[in-house]
């Protein structure tokens, strides 16, 4: 991202801390945004270039104390549910500032378009900017406010929903309510999605923009949080032609995938040409480098509990893990290191982060159908997913066997020891998602939506930490500098 002060100087307020860093990395060098092509290039900056995985995985039940020597504050603080006293990459503060920087870009695009004599040539950029603005605000309200509850959303403090470019050095903002933020997200999403034109993106760049598929995928997540399950199903069915998600899932139990070397798997997982990847972002991050060696993280004990233990299919998960007891991992993130100059040994590490995937869309549709009472449809999605992830216990020729692995209602109820089909389906979906998205941070979203308690046990077995369903620490703390603009901090 190149230098251009005008794009972000207008948003000093919410990005006061670290503003020198952001003003040194701006999106373009054009003095005038006077053509659709120039506006489209600026729209590419309307995405939060920050990684939320590091702190969300540490906060979740996917992380245990591995008793490794030393600990990084950006890994330790979230695991202990403490506010992170750091604002560099991989921290909540960094994500906050990056999200509002992205919103500033979207607002600048929309302002330019609004002033254009003929707005029609800009429709694709307008659609992308609106959906991108909705997404950034959705992530902020999800992480920095209480989870959406239709009973309390009209009273719960939200986050500032910013729709104009900043013209004042210090402007006062209102948090308003979670309900208000959701209304604005839905307004931007429903207005922007029909305007998106996949053909407007340069060849090969579409996976780094909101295509129609990615926008529908975002809609499935948004409406799942909003508990509007019919719309979840509708948007999931529009993500791929004829609602066919199965053919776009990663074939992880295929012989070809299992034969790949770990370094190949690292590269393949976040490739733009993988049909499962719907929206990607490149973000400065140490996650890919450190995920296996953080003290508070995924462990061999969790591997046995989550992956190697029995599951409702009766088969084995095909995921492949590497490393030793203290550094177990499955290949997902390959670091891209950018040197400061060709002769330097220092620079910035980047990871490609999958923001939306076909797998999440399938799970969102399955859960929505379960909540709507469409149990057969939910079972079909679960079995479609299992057909790409489950293998028979045969080391010579592992494969998926429908006769052995198909999930039926009786099998589901027996495995989860209940007579409640809806509850069993939702539990199975959450179990499958937890395994699928290890190291990707999405488990935290389910912990929020379903009010799942999290228990972290230090290695010394003393001072066990329990995060209950209503614990205020489930909400990330807003950066201290936001108080300058009148934004109250979250209770602690």
Longest dimension (CA), the chain: 68
Among the residue ranges 102-106, 191-195, 209-213, 483-487, the one predicted with the least confidence is 483-487
Residue of 377, 385, 386, 373 whose CA lies nearest to 422: 373
3-state secondary structure of 383: helix
The pLDDT value recorded for residue 485 is 81
% of the chain residues with pLDDT over 70 = 92
- Please compute the mean of the pLDDT values over residues 418-447 and round it to a whole number: 98
The pLDDT value recorded for residue 169 is 57
The pLDDT value recorded for residue 70 is 81
Among the residue ranges 21-25, 239-243, 392-396, the one predicted with the least confidence is 21-25
3-state secondary structure of 239: helix
Q: What are the structural domains of the chain?
A: 1-51+89-200+454-492 (1.25.40.890), 212-325+337-452 (no CATH)
Is the pLDDT assigned to residue 363 strictly greater than 80? yes
The pLDDT value recorded for residue 260 is 94
Among the residue ranges 112-121, 186-195, 247-256, 335-344, the one predicted with the least confidence is 335-344
Q: Give dist(CA 162, CA 22) in Å, integer.
A: 18
- Please compute the mean of the pLDDT values over residues 186-213 and round it to a whole number: 95
- The number of C-alpha atoms within 13 Å of 338 and in the hemisphere containing its C-beta is 8
Is the pLDDT assigned to residue 20 strictly greater than 80? no
- With 0.95 as the threshold, say if the pTM is over it: no
346-352's contacts with Cβ under 8 Å and 24+ in sequence apart are 348/284, 349/284, 349/285, 349/286, 349/288, 349/289, 350/282, 350/283, 350/284, 350/285, 351/51, 351/270, 351/282, 351/283, 351/285, 351/287, 351/288, 352/270, 352/280, 352/281, 352/282
Confidence band of 17 (pLDDT split at 50, 70, 90): very low
CA dist 187 → 115, 190, 273 (Å)? 21, 5, 31
414 CB neighbour count, 10 Å cutoff: 12
% of the chain residues with pLDDT over 90 = 83
Q: What is the DSSP letter of 207?
A: G
Per-residue pLDDT reduced to its tens digit, 217-252: 999 999 999 999 999 999 999 999 999 999 999 999
Per-residue pLDDT reduced to its tens digit, 33-44: 789 999 999 999
The pLDDT value recorded for residue 8 is 38
State the chain's mean pLDDT as an integer.
91
Residue of 395, 403, 274, 382 whose CA lies nearest to 332: 274
- The number of C-alpha atoms within 13 Å of 86 and in the hemisphere containing its C-beta is 15
Residue of 478, 415, 473 whose CA lies nearest to 444: 473
Confidence band of 9 (pLDDT split at 50, 70, 90): very low
């Amino acid at each position: 991202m190149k230098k251009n002060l005008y794009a972000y100087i207008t948003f000093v307020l919410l990005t006061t801390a670290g503003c020198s860093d952001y003003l040194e990395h701006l999106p373009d060098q054009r003095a005038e945004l006077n053509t659709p092509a120039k506006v489209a290039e600026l729209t590419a900056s309307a995405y939060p270039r920050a990684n939320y995985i590091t702190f969300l995985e540490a906060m979740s039940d996917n992380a245990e104390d591995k008793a490794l020597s030393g600990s990084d504050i950006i890994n330790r603080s979230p695991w202990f549910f403490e506010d992170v006293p750091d604002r560099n990459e991989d921290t909540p503060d960094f994500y906050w500032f990056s999200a509002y920087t992205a919103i500033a870009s979207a607002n600048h695009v929309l302002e330019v378009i609004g002033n254009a004599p003929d707005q029609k040539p800009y429709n694709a950029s307008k659609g992308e900017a609106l959906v991108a603005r909705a997404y950034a605000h959705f992530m902020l309200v999800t992480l920095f406010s209480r989870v959406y509850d239709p009973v309390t959303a009209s009273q719960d403090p939200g986050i500032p929903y910013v729709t104009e470019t900043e013209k004042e050095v210090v402007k006062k903002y209102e948090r308003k309510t979670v309900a208000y933020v959701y209304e604005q997200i839905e307004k931007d999403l429903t207005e922007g999605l029909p305007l998106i034109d996949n053909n407007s993106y340069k060849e090969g760049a579409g996976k780094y923009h909101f295509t129609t598929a990615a926008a529908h995928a975002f809609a499935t997540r948004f409406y799942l949080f909003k508990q509007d399950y019919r719309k979840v199903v509708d948007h999931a069915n529009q993500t791929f032609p004829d609602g066919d998600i199965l053919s776009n899932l990663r074939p992880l139990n295929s012989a070809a995938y299992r034969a790949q070397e770990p370094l190949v798997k690292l590269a393949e997982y976040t490739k733009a040409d993988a049909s499962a990847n719907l929206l990607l972002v490149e973000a400065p991050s140490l996650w890919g480098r450190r995920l296996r060696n953080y003290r508070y993280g995924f462990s061999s004990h969790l591997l046995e509990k989550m992956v190697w233990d029995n599951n409702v299919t009766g088969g084995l998960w095909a995921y492949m893990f590497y490393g030793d007891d203290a550094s177990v991992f499955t290949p997902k993130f390959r670091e891209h290191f950018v040197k400061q100059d060709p002769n330097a040994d220092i620079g910035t590490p980047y990871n490609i982060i999958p923001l939306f995937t076909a797998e999440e869309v399938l799970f969102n549709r399955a859960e929505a159908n379960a909540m709507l009472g469409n149990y057969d449809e939910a079972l079909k999605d679960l079995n479609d997913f299992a057909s790409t992830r489950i293998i028979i216990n045969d080391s010579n020729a592992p494969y998926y066997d429908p006769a052995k692995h198909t999930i039926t209602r009786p099998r589901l109820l027996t495995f989860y020891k209940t007579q409640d089909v809806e509850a069993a389906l939702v539990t199975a979906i959450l179990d499958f998602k937890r395994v699928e998205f290890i190291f990707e941070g999405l488990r935290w979203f389910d912990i929020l939506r379903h009010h799942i308690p999290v228990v972290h046990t230090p290695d010394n077995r003393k001072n066990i930490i329990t995060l209950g369903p209503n614990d205020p620490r489930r909400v990330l703390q807003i950066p201290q500098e936001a108080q300058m603009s009148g934004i109250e901090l979250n209770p602690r």
